[in-house]
Amino acid sequence: MSVFHLHVNGRLYTVDIDGNMPLLWALRDILGLKGTKFGCGVAQCGACTVHLDGRAVRSCSVDVGVACLSKITTIEGLSSDGSHPCQKAWVELGVPQCGFCQPGQIMSAAALLTTTKGADPTDEQIDNAMRGNICRCGTYPRIRAAIHKAAESSS
């Protein structure tokens, strides 16, 4: 057990935990931020996606000891009020069904739009950025459409 300072969504948290604890569990169980979801634990499904310094990472596979070096953004911190272009596009097109994978999907999509600097991604760019995020409800076509819509609205 050691003391770590986690910079999450613009706030500084001080926690006394095992440095091997994956960031996912620190966020959920220690900090009480439950928007980030557990789906597989082995970086296969993307439900746990957060940003470290704006880059999408699977928080189930990043230790607290490593994550504490970066600015962490979770779905709760993507915007204060659901106003991120991805969040708005997701709502407008009715993307979610069960909704469980969507925080991870949105975080991956938001990171993609950061890398394209808001420009509309190609199909291939969407494939590559989003293939790590599984949706069992089958919302993929709406996710694609929402990414395009978000790019359109942020340009």
Interaction site with another protein (CB under 8 A): 1, 18, 21-22, 25, 28-30, 33-42, 44-45, 47, 74-76, 78-79, 82, 86-87, 90-103, 106, 123, 126-128, 130-144
Rounded to a whole number of angstroms, the minimum distance from the CB of residue 14 to another protein is: 17
Rounded CA gap, 22 and 63, in Å? Answer: 4
Shortest Å distance, C-beta 84 to another protein: 9
Taking the complex as a whole, how short is the minimal distance between the CB of residue 108 and another protein, in angstroms? 10
Q: Which one, 45 or 52, has the nearer CB to another protein? A: 45
Q: How far is the CB of 70 from another protein (least distance, A)?
A: 19
Q: Which is nearer to another protein, 52 or 75 (CB)?
A: 75
CA angle 32, 108, 154 (to 5 degrees): 110
Sequence letter at residue 72: I
Length of the chain: 155
Rounded-to-integer distance, Cα 99 and Cα 43, Å: 19
Between 70 and 108, CB nearer to another protein: 108
Which residues does 122 contact at the CB level (< 8 Å), separation at least 6? Answer: none
Coil/strand/helix, residue 89: helix
